[in-house]
Structure 1
Amino acid sequence: MNAEDGSQEPPEHARFAAHLAALEQVTDADEEGLVAGVLADPDPVMAGAAVVRHLDRRAEELYAASSWEEWAEAMARVVGDRPFLVRRLREWALFRAVALGLPWEQDDLLASSDWLQLRTAAGSSPGALAVLTERGRTKRIRGTARAGLTRPAPA
């Protein structure tokens, strides 16, 4: 019960918290099955929100690791045709390419979401910063990229 107004917490809130807790603790071997199970929740919006948080956390951990490709392919199979989740995985792959100095296309970066452009603008890839300084979607993205270009290089 909510102490303030006497109402009960909606069941999807409890399931969301349970999904997040399970995803935080899942082993690599069980990850695909658990993500698929979360996506089978009767509330697709809530399930997608829990899974995108998981994808972001895991991608942040793995983008520079040798296990990235295998993980990203597994997650792509699980998220199937859910547009937002598919896009987030694609954008993490683009972020990875930019951050690690792998080949990437300027048009892909310019077509990416504000989320990815801002995340990339906060990084240190001179090529991406130059693109985003000139053509980033928002004033904030352009300013963040400009600031990155003027930061002194690490010693």
Structure 2
Amino acid sequence: MNAGDSGQEPPEHARFAAYLAELEQVTDTDETELVAGVLADPDPVMAGAAVVRHLDRRAEDLHPEPVWEEWAEAMARVVGDRPFLVRRLREWTLFRAVVRGLPWDQDDLLASSDWLQLRTAAGSSTGALTVLAERGRTKRIRDTARASLTRLNPA
């Protein structure tokens, strides 16, 4: 009999929900310690999923703030060599540069994940939108970027 047949929630599901709740409430002072603790879970896929949700939430909140660099560096140290989490942090840094009008490289944008390209294509940076409208990875990304360009520059 598996956990689904018994009506009991698998233990990793319960831990995932608990981690999300803890990460939602964590203080800035305790954040790196908690993220490191989550990443020490014996289920690395579940732990990574919980941490990426946290990174996305925090990055969304912090990307316009001056504390970004310090936070991103601290999180980079904690996520260490976990490729997906390292990439997500790097992509949030690129997104922040595009949105804030800071220097960014179009090759980095074109090499980024569909997640970042689509998020950027829905934005308001004319330079990034032009690049993605012409060379975005998927038709959806190119179409989204074209629609955003049209919204910004109506004929």
1:102 matches 2:93 = no
Q: Secondary structure at the match of 2:102?
A: coil
Q: Distance in 2 between matches of 1:139 and 1:28?
A: 40
Match of 1:78 in 2: 78
Q: Could you tell me the TM-score, scaled by structure 1's length?
A: 0.95
Per-residue CA deviations over 1:16-65 (Å, capped at 9, x if unaligned) read: 00000000000000000000000000100000000000000000000110
Alignment coverage as a number of residue pairs: 150
Q: Distance in 2 between matches of 1:7 and 1:145?
A: 45
Aligned-pair CA distance for 1:8: 1.2
Match of 2:21 in 1: 21
Match of 1:114 in 2: 114
Match of 1:127 in 2: 127
Q: Distance in 2 between matches of 1:123 and 1:152?
A: 10
Letter in structure 2 aligned against 1:147: A
Unaligned residue ranges in structure 2 (runs of 5+): none
Unaligned residue ranges in structure 1 (runs of 5+): none
4+ residue runs of structure 1 moved beyond 3 angstroms?
none
Q: Distance in 2 between matches of 1:144 and 1:126?
A: 13
Letter in structure 1 aligned against 2:127: G
Percent identity, please.
83
Letter in structure 1 aligned against 2:45: V
Letter in structure 2 aligned against 1:108: D
Q: Could you tell me the TM-score, scaled by structure 2's length?
A: 0.95
RMSD between aligned residues: 1.1
